[in-house]
Chains A and B, each alone.
Chain A
Amino acid sequence: MSDWSQSIDSLNNGQAASRAEGIAEGVSEGDLVRRRDFLTLLASSFAALGLTSCDVRSPRQTIIPWRDQPEHTLSGLPTWYSSTCRACPASCGVLVKNREGRPIKLEGNPDHPISRGGLCARGQASVLDLYDSERLKTPLAKGEATDFAQLDAAVIGALRSIRDRGESIRIVTSGDDGPAARRAIEIFQAAFPDTRVVEHHPLATRAIARAHGATQGTARIPSYRFNKAELVVSFDADFLGTWISPVGFTRDWADARDPELNGGKMARLVSLDPRMSLTGANADFRVALKPSAVGATLLHLLVHVGRKLGKREVESIAGRLPAIPIPDAVDDEILGGLAEELVAARGRSLVIAGSESAADQIIINIINEWLGSYGATIDLARPVWEEADDLDSLDTPDALETLIADIESAGTQAGSGAQAESDDNRAVPGAVIFLGANPVYNHPRGAELRRALEKVPLKIALCDRLDETAALADWICPTPHALESWDIARPRRGTYSIVQPTIAPLFGSRPAVTSLTTWAGKPTEAYKLVRRVWRDEVFERQSQFDRFEKFWVECLQKGAFEIEDATPDASFTRPPLAGLVELAVVESVLAQNENGNRAEGDLEFLAYPSIALGDGSQANNPWLQELPDPISKITWGNVGAISPATARELGLEEGRVVEIRAEADTGLGPVRMPIHIQPGMAEGVLATALGYGRTHAGRIAANYPIERVFGIDKAEPGGADVYPLLGVGSVSVTPTNGFDEPARTQLYDHQTEPFTGEDRNPAREMSFADFIKQGRENGHGDAGGNSEHGGQSETDKHLKHGAHAAEPTLWSEHDYPGHKWTMAIDLNRCTGCAACVVACQAENNIPVVGKAEVRKKRDMHWMRIDRYYSGSPEAPEAEPDVAFEPMLCQQCDHAPCETVCPVLATVHSSEGLNMQVYNRCVGTRYCANNCQYKVRRFNWFDYAHEDLVQNFVLNPDVTVRSRGVMEKCTFCVQRLNAGKRDAASDGRPVADADVRPACAQSCPAAAIVLGDANDPQSAVSRALENPRAYSVLEPLGTRPSVRYLARIRKEDATS
């Protein structure tokens, strides 16, 4: 019986689970060989498609067919398990789609309290991490493969001798480890009392917690309720992109933005940020504000808000304001207007900041408090990511920096024992255990840590790959992927989410909690530990269930549980406000003086987590590497983004490789990366994404064999590591002779033609005032409503017709008697987050092509998100408005691609789908030429996965296309058919929920709706009647089956 069949067993049968765990732990070398051979066999069958002369053979070992079919599993049908996404600490709920024992896709769990059905790009892609062949396959002892028994014996011995020597042990965690891991650490601490936990979250939002510690007396990151907000003012808090819990926030925000949901009301977003973040791109009003100006701006805003609310306290601050001039980017009028809007929306407003300055966050807290946001749009009762650290004090240093200092001081203390005794905090660390943390890479002082670690006698890494930190460790315990392990996530207080394995570990890994408890002398399987913690922390604190087993099964099925009676709202302690403001003023002024007075040619530096890679832990994921950044559309690597004006000032052009040096010496060499000229950047700021430039994540993260000419691979490095520069403030930039054109999937950025200035306006928007007026004047029709991008071309006149039916035609129409699949995409909900892009890639086996191929504009994404800046190439705007438009095959009823195909490889279905018959396609590419949306993708090479393990992620319902074949979106026809089949077997009509393509399913904003236009009750039928509905390029008469709902821009707070 193969390993994964047992794991399925275990999932359906609680008792068998422990058996699966045992097997997972006891995977022998023989099993691995057998599995690999099976993979080879599987891969050969794909390779055979490409006509390579593969010799298909049976494995050398005896293989046994899957005789005992597990219960509830039918070959050919998916099995779904609820679990939790561990790609980032937000911990969204997922449904894991298993086919023949393999998890092949993650989808958002609609019942999950955090994500409510959406899943971001990184979450979608995390299923591919499972099949990453760069993961560790055995434990390593000083670089040599070993087994867990030997490792345990040696580690336990070493730990005990450290304990006996009186040295302390440090466990460095990644900051988002859940209750189960904490329980394991507690068990470990019981055995080794002098063990301290060092929390290292690479993208911490500690300042928020610290500020709340100062102002509210409780160091917490609150939950934000964007759905309750009518006005959000964000100071570089990219809550739609990467900030705290973007999927949940996006859903809340999209609902708040939807005028049809809110009786004609719509929330407004103001963003003041230094770079064009996803949030800034979606803002109704945006100001490019450099990081050093945030403090001063907030102070001025505080004074404006305070005065409008009649707060006397502000006058003392106002008196000091002349010392802090208002930043160039904003003026008194803007801030006054903003304050007025905020005050008008009191109780329904929200001010947030991504700043890592506690002073900034304190000002934010005061403004929010004055505006009555606490309890309304801010929920302190359900804080997220409660950290173990004591953050009540504003000057607590970074935990990892403390660790480095401890290690560094260890050498000097060795001689003077008295000092060590007197200073308990400075106990000598004799061992450091890295629990899924990789601070050598993702901490600014990683290089120092690397040097410091040389002095630590025992270094143990529990991680999934030989990463930058693990490479320095003596003992390495491979840990399983989230899809292979039991765990608990607690995304916010009172909300518990179960991580459930859906496959036995592919490689020789062991859960970290088992390792820790084993070393503590109390070996505990992860499953048992998780159940114990679930019983203690969740079951005991709820009242709905009285039997644990019933509760457990219910929770496993649902995936998450929310305890209702959470701790009451923390009292707002009202600290002496003046003193706090004093503090804030001082810090802001200092920060501004430090950063604002940059030397000639120096730039303020900003490093941010990108949508695609986040903190870089998934850097070896090819889907994410090839995911175009929603704004810059750059793939495979990071760039130094500067504003057009700054580029002119410094004489830099797109793609020029520069050397970036920190003002403060980091002790490292300069960072080299290409320049990208990004409209919307604040002037004098250089922003670049974190997560790239990994040296130990794997082949794909480091580089990628991108071009093969006569068997010679050309590879290039995939981006630069900017963690060392995180928080340096300002940098100097030196151009080099190098040139490295960023690999972009979109080369032209405007809706406006060059030369003519004609606005093609495929992604339409209207002002909120026009929307209201239109609703009042004519209850229907007249969708086009161009407000300011008002290219009143002939195109628009055609669009006055709401439906295709009114259009004249020369010939008799084919009718669609059964279903007529139609899609509606609400541009007002869509944030451009690109989750759908990866969802589509996962669902449809879309290949990854590599950097050079992307440069040649050969990316294969069936679903892409077009991004347009306002303005034109002749008159570019420094701070343009941004429009997003998901673009996929529009399934035209009069499809131009179909008529030109010589071999009938693309024809129309009776349900209105434009079908692509891969095995009939001979690859003339005529269809792609004739497609006005350019959504067809051609297999220029054989893109079969080189990593054979990755073939396991392939969806068996979708053909893997061979070279020379055209491919494209088919509205996930395999899912439509599955939905029809399910409905038929239940004996009911097909409902909207049955037919959800991958893009619609994953969309965190629920912006995409697919359904049957023949069914008047379907959601899409209602959307088609929306006066905002239009089709892109409708005048061409091709009758696309996708309709877009124009975006609404809320120009001002009125109406």
Chain B
Amino acid sequence: MTHKLCIASFDSPEDLLSATRAARESGRKIYDTYVPWPVHGLEEAMGVARSRLGVVCFMLGSLGVATALGFQLWVSTRSWPLNIGGKPFDALPALIPITFELMVLFAAVGTIIVFFIRSRLWPGAQPGIALEGATNDRFILALETNADDAEEIAGFVRDRGAAEVREVDLP
């Protein structure tokens, strides 16, 4: 049973990547990593599945298109059809710009909201683990430990270049 996290702080992203990769290969449970900028290869090193935000975005965009087209057509032909400049009620080309804009709006704003929810980010949320330097220049690997293997894991990360190792309680 997991009680604690072993926080290993590295100087460079390369060290973090190799440590992460080694930790995963050796079957250790990677709680998370904390990095000041997106480090290339981290996804693969941590073994995280590809994000499905793209699918969400597509679906939301489609919803935007359907909403815009449906509403405009309903207004123009059903709710109150008006002769405007002699044009037909269901003049489709005129409806395209708004359809496009609503597609983008739905997709962008919706995807952002989904991202916030999934990542548990909201105004005023507290960082999961407050880590010195994780937003500055430290590259941190958090491995799950319990009372038994704390020493062993600390040694494991030190061997892989961790400049600083400590234990914190699981949030």
Contacts and interface: CB of A to CB of B under 8 A. Distances in A.
Chain A–chain B contact at Cβ < 8 A: yes
Interface of A: 811-814, 892-899, 904, 907-910, 1039
A812 B84 CA distance: 13
B41 interface: no
B88 A908 contact: no
Interface of B: 82-88, 91
B83 A899 contact: no
A812 B85 contact: no
Interface centre among B82, B84, B86, B87 (most CB of A within 10 A): B86
Contacts of A909: 83
Given A896-B85, A897-B85, 7 more contacts: A813-B86, A892-B86, A893-B86, A894-B87, A899-B85, A904-B84, A907-B84
B16 to A, nearest CB: 55
25 contacts: A811-B87, A811-B88, A812-B88, A813-B86, A814-B83, A814-B86, A892-B86, A894-B86, A894-B87, A895-B85, A895-B86, A896-B85, A897-B85, A899-B84, A899-B85, A904-B84, A907-B82, A907-B83, A908-B82, A908-B83, A908-B84, A908-B85, A908-B86, A909-B83, A1039-B86
Contacts of A907: 82-84
A744 B131 CA distance: 77
Contacts of A895: 85-86
Interface of B is mostly: loop
Contacts of B83: 814, 907-910
Interface of A is mostly: loop
B128 to A, nearest CB: 48
Nearest to B89: A814
B68 to A, nearest CB: 16
A314 B132 CA distance: 123
B74 to A, nearest CB: 15
Contacts, number: 35
Interface centre among B83, B84, B85, B87 (most CB of A within 10 A): B85
B82 A904 contact: yes
A894 B83 CA distance: 9
A897 B85 CA distance: 7
Contacts of A892: 86
A898 B88 contact: no
Contacts of B87: 811, 894, 899
The 6 A-B residue pairs with the shortest CB-CB distance in the complex, in nearest-first order: A899-B85, A908-B83, A894-B86, A898-B85, A898-B84, A814-B83
B162 to A, nearest CB: 62
B91 A811 contact: yes
Interface centre among A899, A904, A910 (most CB of B within 10 A): A899
Contacts of A1039: 86
Nearest to B86: A894
A590 B17 CA distance: 117
A895 B91 CA distance: 16
Contacts of A899: 84-85, 87
Contacts of B84: 898-899, 904, 907-908
B101 to A, nearest CB: 15
A115 B87 CA distance: 44
Nearest to B91: A811
A1039 B91 CA distance: 19
A607 to B, nearest CB: 50
A1039 to B, nearest CB: 7
Nearest to B88: A811
Nearest to A893: B86
A1039 B86 CA distance: 10
A914 B85 CA distance: 9
Contacts of A908: 82-86
Nearest to A813: B86
B115 to A, nearest CB: 34
A894 B91 CA distance: 14
Contacts of A893: 86
Nearest to B94: A899
Nearest to A907: B82
Contacts of B85: 894-899, 908
B79 to A, nearest CB: 12
A892 B87 CA distance: 12
A282 to B, nearest CB: 37
Contacts of B91: 811
B63 to A, nearest CB: 25
Nearest to B83: A908
A523 B91 CA distance: 76
A813 B87 CA distance: 7
A256 to B, nearest CB: 40
